[in-house]
Amino acid sequence: MSNMKSTRINGDVPQIRVFSMNCWGLKYIAKHRVARLNEITERIAAATPSHEIVALQEFWVYADYENLRAKTKHILPYGKFYFSGAIGGGLVILSKWPIEQSSMFRYPLNGRPTAFFRGDFYVGKGVACASIRHPSGQVVEVFNTHLHAPYEEKDTYLCHRTAQAWEIAKLLRGAVQKGHVAIGLGDFNMVPSSLAHRIISTHGLVSDSWLSAHPDAPDIPPVTATAVENIAISGITCDSVLNTWRMPGPHIPAENASDPHSKRLDYIFHSPSTSSVQDITVGMTEPMPMPSQKGGKGGAAGVCTLSDHYSVEVLLSLSPNAAQQAALAAARNPEALPKKDLIDVAGPARAEEASLSNQIGEASERRLPLKILDEILAVQKEYTDREKGEYFWRIAHFWASVPVLIACNVAVWWSPHNGVAFALMMLAWVVAVTGTMDGLIGFIFTGSEIRALTEFEEEVRMYRHLVEQRGQAQGSN
């Protein structure tokens, strides 16, 4: 695959080179993990010009982080591996300049414990935060995250992802309002036309770097676009047919092959009031040698793509560019795409989310419109009603199991046969375990989740009231 040319926007200085990538580094599960993450490490170390801020997602194993630090400390002497949840959040930030302050903000809504096979609840997803002092004297606040994926055609996690977008948007907004350079980056598991994207770019007071550089880039790649065009023009980072983890056959297709399902899920957001995009490109597209991989998932003819995602690499100038923002504002109000086209490319779950947000708003929009806020509240209410029902039945199961458990234990004493007694004891064991589990999940998790949902609702309603008041005040002037 040929190297992609980035587009030069302006020549402002000082500058920061920023890199973000989902590395797919799950221990025991991710194939060729050690070799792939080592190759990513070596490419970061050998990059010319060097990256100055690096954010990685799904970098789960601390030994891989130690290898990363050892091989990149000559260009990125400062770093932080963020600890979160039962098995870690998988987030890493490296910097050329000192990290003055760091914190790990965990999302209040982040999956369900019963979906243990997905793991989102147990990794403790959140936002890895780092405050970096640039040599120019400006403070750069970096927010690295990995939002919840849809997983299903009927996206039952839409409310969680929407709430997560709201939370990181608040962090970004706070940094911008302090006059700092805000950078939000990571795997957001959303397409540009999504509700989450609208929340972050509007409520967070930030701009999508790819759209800053390419204001006319399509939200969804055209069906007729080739794989290489999707990378260069649409900035896709996931599900490319040129990625060996996603290719449809045993061999990597040609660069001009059809690529109808590729998506842009990885982003670098920047604060346009303090920075502008000078260069942007999708990177880490070249496969690595993998002689043991003759075919099958992840490999083709002795090569392997570094991850199931590509990287996003941005050169930011630490000064605003009014012309760039004007060009973006003029281009960000496109005609809505037919829902069928969205479903064909992005899938039913992401297409449904796009339909909630009127796909995408204008870049000059700095407050979410009432219609979008009402959509957020509707999503929150639907999910809250579902969870309240689940809470009721789990707690009911717990209390119903108590008399059944007592009855089983009493019946054992009166059983005339050993076999019946044994069956009653087994039944009592099942009732005790399932009742206790549902009680714990209901009382501890679902109860906490409902309170987090209520807090989310009240924040949105407060914001909605403020937007309504300002709208009325502007109308009366």
User: What positions carry a catalytic annotation?
Assistant: 309
> What single-letter amino acid sits at 326?
A
What is residue 107's DSSP assignment? Answer: P
In 73-229, beta strands by DSSP E: 78-82, 91-95, 99-106, 126-133, 139-146, 181-187, 207-208
The Cα 433–Cα 423 span in angstroms is 15
Give the other-Cβ count within 10 Å of 356's Cβ: 19
* Greatest CA separation for the chain: 90
79 φ/ψ angles, rounded to the nearest 5 degrees: -160, 160
Q: Compute the C-alpha angle 58/118/67, nearest 5°.
A: 20
Integer Cα distance of 311 and 65 in angstroms: 18
**Is residue 168 classed exposed, middle or buried when 0-12, 13-18 and 19+ CB atoms within 10 A define those classes?**
buried
Tokens of 229: 């065009």
Task: Report how far residue 350's alpha carbon sits from residue 197's, in angstroms, rounded to the nearest whole number.
Answer: 11
* Cα(215)–Cα(364) distance, integer angstroms: 13
Q: Per the structure block, which two tokens stand in for 180? A: 């700092």
Q: Tokens representing 362?
A: 């204008």
How would you classify the pairing of strands 91-95 and 53-57? antiparallel
In three state form, how does the secondary structure of 40-92 look?
A: HHHHHHHCCCCCCEEEEECCCCHHHHHHHHHHHCCCCCEEEEECCCCCCCCEE
Pair 96, 15: CB distance under 8 Å: no
Residue 144: φ, ψ to 5° = -105, 130
* Rounded Cα–Cα distance for residues 61 and 21 (Å): 16
Q: How do strand 139-146 and strand 181-187 relate by DSSP bridges?
A: parallel
CA distance 277 to 12: 9
Residue located via tokens 């972050």: 200
Q: Which two tokens stand for residue 439?
A: 């009680």
Chain-centre distance for alpha carbon 305: 21
